[in-house]
Amino acid sequence: MNESQLINKQGLSEEQFLATYDANKYERPSVTVDMLIFTVTEEEKKYRKLPGKVLKLLLIKRGDHPYIGRWAIPGGFVNIDESLDEAALRELKEETNIDDIYMEQLYTWGDVTRDPRTRVISTSYMSLVDSSKLDIKAGDDADDTKWFTISCELDQEQRTVTERGYILQRLFKLSLSNEGNNLSAIVKTAKIVEGNVTKTERKVIESNGIAFDHAKIIEYAIERLRNKIEYTDIAIDLMDNMVQIEPPKLF
């Protein structure tokens, strides 16, 4: 039997069901995309006095509420008639003048209170690019756009044994800087292992100059990026700048 001929519990065919379906039956959250654009440049490091690889992230300065004047990952709302990938490419072009680059989906963020305007679910994208080939220009609702050098250091670590497994808590200090701006945040991660089930939670404990929950998105992206490049020739130099792991201290 054709699926369209099947009848549901209310006695409706699929055609009849769709014709009477009320799209307002459920509240609909807004959907956004956020793009993490990384680059690697060679710069002299103060403690080495020699050229080294430096990891940078592109941020935009917000020109409107909420978080006006703070720095954020480029992004924006998805239009009703476009896919997530299409929205990501469009928003990146509108806010930074970057187009025609490869991006991959990183993660979808859905905490209920992550945006003060309304319920917003965001899909983040990540890309590693050659910044020398890009013509960066702020546009749309971005007041400015700049590259920030990143440092993400493990500051504290605590492992707690539970009845069914363990919880590994970590505090990361995130720093982003350029010639005129110094941003920072503290991100707490909790890896919860119960039997064969593992989940990781992230929470922004403190944020200075970084909009929304973007600090934890950046921390997660650095973790993913570090995993991708740890076997390449530039891994050792990048690790110095990306995640410097100090001897853990208990909370």
Q: What is the 3-state secondary structure (H, E, C) of 43-106?
A: EEECCCCEEEEEEEEEEEEECCCCCCCCEECCEEECCCCCCHHHHHHHHHHHHHCCCCCCCEEE
CA neighbor of 151 nearest in space, from 51, 218, 69 = 218
pLDDT of residue 230: 64
**Superfamily in which the 26-242 domain is placed by CATH:** Nucleoside Triphosphate Pyrophosphohydrolase (3.90.79.10)
pLDDT digits (tens, 9 = 90+) for 134-179: 888 988 778 899 999 999 999 999 999 999 999 999 999 999 999 9
* Residue 5, strand partner residues: none
Domain residue spans in the chain? 26-242
**What is the mean predicted confidence (pLDDT) over 110-125?**
97
Average confidence (pLDDT) over 67-96? 96
**Is there a contact between 36 and 55 (Cβ–Cβ < 8 Å)?**
no
**pLDDT confidence bin for 232, thresholds 50/70/90:** low
Q: Of 158, 161, 173, 96, whose CA–CA distance to 127 is shortest?
A: 96
The predicted-structure confidence for 180-190, as pLDDT tens digits, reads as follows 899 999 999 99
Q: Are 73 and 36 in contact (CB under 8 A)?
A: yes
Helix (H, G, I), strand (E, B) or coil at 22: coil
Crossing angle between the packed helical segments 214-229 and 235-242, to the nearest 10 degrees: 160
The 8-class DSSP code of residue 107 comes to: E
CA–CA dist 211, 1 (Å, integer): 54
Mean pLDDT of the chain: 88
Q: Is the pLDDT at 80 greater than 70, yes or no? A: yes
pLDDT band of residue 226 (cuts 50, 70, 90) is: confident
With a cut of 70, say whether residue 243 has pLDDT above it. Answer: no
Is residue 247 scored above 50 in pLDDT?
A: no
pLDDT at residue 141, as a whole number: 75
pLDDT confidence of residue 246: 44
Q: What is the pLDDT of residue 248?
A: 42
